[in-house]
């Protein structure tokens, strides 16, 4: 176990720290126990797709990157057993096909432009 150095400041949550010079102030502060959902982004698909690197790729790290396509649908999470808010996210056509295979009970709504 690491001991705190004498006189060291106690650990604080990031949102309790004062903003740095030039940093935008936080517009919302999350209350304890409050659910904050990110609204669907209608400008870019919100799915994360593999970046194309594998453990065999030289000079590349496998991982996920955000899909750059324009979304055409909004996917809605099925009702939750714990009663929490249902999430939703924007998806492009190819990500929608993957999502409908992987998540049972998800519903889709077409984005009208």
Minimum gap (Å) between residue 58 Cβ and Zn ion: 27
Residues 77-106 that bind Zn ion (CB under 5 A): 92, 95
Nearest alpha carbon to residue 75 among 45, 48, 54:
45
Report 23-62 residues binding Zn ion (CB under 5 A).
Answer: 45, 47
User: CB of 54: closest distance to Zn ion in angstroms?
Assistant: 20
Residue 93 backbone phi and psi in degrees, to 5:
-60, -45
Please give the torsion angle defined by the CA atoms of residues 50, 81, 30 and 47, in that order, rounded to the nearest 10 degrees: 20
Binding site for Zn ion (CB under 5 A): 45, 47, 67, 69, 92, 95
């Amino acid at each position: 176990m690491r001991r705190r150095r004498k006189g060291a400041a106690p650990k604080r949550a990031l949102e309790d720290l004062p903003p740095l010079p030039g940093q935008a102030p936080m517009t919302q502060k999350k209350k304890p126990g409050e659910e904050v959902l990110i609204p669907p982004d209608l400008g870019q698909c919100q799915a994360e797709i593999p970046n194309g690197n594998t453990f065999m790729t030289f000079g590349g790290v496998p991982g996920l990157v955000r899909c750059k396509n324009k979304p055409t649908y909004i996917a809605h999470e099925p009702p939750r057993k714990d009663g929490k808010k249902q999430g939703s996210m924007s998806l492009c056509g190819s990500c929608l096909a993957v999502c409908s295979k992987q998540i049972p009970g998800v519903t889709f709504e077409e984005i009208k432009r």
